[in-house]
Amino acid sequence: MSPKNFSYMFPAYPIICIIATILALIPLTTHWLAGNIGAVALSLWIVGGNIMAAVNTIVWHGNLNNPHPVWGDICQAYFSVMNFGLSAGTLYVQYTLWKVARNRRLFVSPREKRRQKLWAVFFCYGIPLIFVVLHYIVQGHRYDLVEDLGPTPTAYPTPLTYVLYFIWDPIFCLIAIGLSIHTYSILYRHGRTMEKVFISSKKNSEKKYYRLLGMTLLISLIHFPIVLGIMLYNAIKVPTQPWISWDDTHFDFNRINYLSREIVETIPDIVTISSISYWSIALCGYTYFFFFGTGTEARRQYRVALVAVCRRFGIELPERKEKEKKKTTRSTGGKRSWLDRLLGRRREGESFLSTIGDTSTGITFVRTFQRESVSGKSGMDKVRPDETIVISPSTVSQARDGEDIKHYHSWIEVESRRERPSGEEEGIDLEAQGSSAVEQREQEQEQRSQFEEEQITAEPEQTEEITF
């Protein structure tokens, strides 16, 4: 049986909101130091909403006293644009993640970095301020004061109200969900490339990227049906009045409507609609903490804070031994994680071959990164680590079919620059071509390493890393 009024929310709801506020503040320091404007804005909008909701449900529990009406003005203005702040901030963060996946790079020019910061401030704070003005255009009176709930925003139901106010929140959420789905599709196709992109990052990590991607998608999926349902409910259940003039909409604007428990019980569906809206505020706080308060960076911050507090009382905690990062070797027999399956990666520990082709003869040089036993029709011997062997395109076709490689349970990435030659070209002396091709490979490696050193040296001056 659904509740008839909002008295059931006390004292559980304010306690849950206070806990959500504390949890949402914990990861804020990490994002603030990293300069992540979007994640900081999401945290501030969530924290502000939970604080006001907790205070209002405590102060106005069982009464309609209003000694400080200005607080009601602040609350109604904040709650009227909080949904836009969450949806616009989520949209910007999702757009940033989508752009990284599409371009497959984390470094941009300083000019582009400044432009991104300006867009971030506009999306996360500028758009909500614009909707403060738009809400005032369709605001019929100051606010409603509901017993057990506190001040709530109002809007005069006219066609202009839906065009200026109600319709934009679902649109932002829908765009964010679409970008999120497209981002996942890009990562599925180019998962290995993105893995290499994050290796060069100093501020961002692959795990943080996927946590932020999951959080924005989940918040959008929670937020979208709520705001869409509220808009449809008002459009269907509440009679729409024609827009006549500014004076007609703002007639007796300074009045405050007081809704006691008895009046609330006579209004159909108001408890259900408002309860879903208010409980979603607390849910956003727990969602934010789940994605950013339980990661590796957060646990490191917890330990730093704990050590600082213990030193105040003269307690020395034992130093934590950092586990050495094990270099993963792609040997056969490993298992694929759920993330590997999602992104189409190889099995953990699975071997692979890198190839360098000779465009003039169609010969392919295969360099192995671990010891493999290679035998078969081509008569190749065992290949040692980092040893280069020369095989003909015919051997390449056999290797693709898995005929010449033992202990190779999946696939081999062997690429040939040209199609299999025909006629007399098949009888090319591989040994004669091998020495010149090896020299060419060494020159290419030297040029590549020199180019990478120049890029690393020039990187701090010419590019800046994207923060998310």
Helix (H, G, I), strand (E, B) or coil at 256: strand
User: What is residue 112's predicted lDDT score, i.e. its pLDDT?
Assistant: 86
Spatial neighbors of 17 by CB under 8 A, at least 6 apart, are: 50, 51, 53, 54, 57, 281, 282, 285
What whole-number distance in Å separates Cα of residue 128 and Cα of residue 115? 19
Spatial neighbors of 379 by CB under 8 A, at least 6 apart, are: none
User: What is residue 320's predicted lDDT score, i.e. its pLDDT?
Assistant: 63
Angle at 444 between CA 438 and CA 450, to 5 degrees: 140
453, burial (CB in 10 Å: exposed 0-12, middle 13-18, buried 19+): exposed
Spatial neighbors of 27 by CB under 8 A, at least 6 apart, are: 39, 43, 288, 289, 292, 293, 298
User: What is residue 26's predicted lDDT score, i.e. its pLDDT?
Assistant: 86
Provide the β-strand partners of residue 146. Answer: 150, 259
pTM: 0.68
* H-only helix segments in 238-363: 246-249, 261-266, 270-292, 296-312, 338-343
Q: Are 465 and 106 within 8 A, CB to CB?
A: yes
User: What is residue 208's predicted lDDT score, i.e. its pLDDT?
Assistant: 82
User: What is residue 212's predicted lDDT score, i.e. its pLDDT?
Assistant: 87
User: What is residue 338's predicted lDDT score, i.e. its pLDDT?
Assistant: 58
pLDDT (tens digit, 0 to 9) for every residue of the chain, 468 residues total?
Answer: 678 889 999 999 999 999 999 999 988 887 887 788 888 999 999 999 999 999 999 999 999 999 899 999 999 999 999 999 999 999 999 999 999 888 887 877 888 888 889 999 999 999 999 999 999 999 999 999 999 999 999 999 999 999 999 999 999 999 999 999 999 999 888 877 777 777 777 777 788 888 889 989 998 998 899 999 989 998 998 899 999 999 999 999 999 999 999 999 988 788 999 999 999 999 999 999 988 887 777 777 778 878 888 888 888 777 665 443 443 333 334 455 555 655 555 554 444 333 333 333 333 333 433 333 333 433 334 444 444 344 444 443 334 333 333 333 333 333 333 344 444 444 445 455 556 666 777 777 776 666 554 544 444 446 777 766
323, burial (CB in 10 Å: exposed 0-12, middle 13-18, buried 19+): exposed
Spatial neighbors of 152 by CB under 8 A, at least 6 apart, are: 75, 76, 79, 143, 144, 145, 146, 274
What whole-number distance in Å separates Cα of residue 221 and Cα of residue 180? 11
296, burial (CB in 10 Å: exposed 0-12, middle 13-18, buried 19+): exposed
User: What is residue 466's predicted lDDT score, i.e. its pLDDT?
Assistant: 73
User: What is residue 465's predicted lDDT score, i.e. its pLDDT?
Assistant: 74
User: What is residue 408's predicted lDDT score, i.e. its pLDDT?
Assistant: 34
Spatial neighbors of 328 by CB under 8 A, at least 6 apart, are: 348, 349
**CA dist list (Å): 292 to 196, 213, 238, 323:** 23, 11, 40, 22
User: What is residue 450's predicted lDDT score, i.e. its pLDDT?
Assistant: 61
User: What is residue 386's predicted lDDT score, i.e. its pLDDT?
Assistant: 40
Q: Are 205 and 151 within 8 A, CB to CB?
A: no
Q: How long, in residues, is the chain? A: 468
Q: Are 438 and 358 within 8 A, CB to CB?
A: no
What whole-number distance in Å separates Cα of residue 126 and Cα of residue 128? 6
Helix (H, G, I), strand (E, B) or coil at 410: coil
Spatial neighbors of 377 by CB under 8 A, at least 6 apart, are: 398, 403, 404
User: What is residue 30's predicted lDDT score, i.e. its pLDDT?
Assistant: 79
What whole-number distance in Å separates Cα of residue 365 and Cα of residue 356? 5
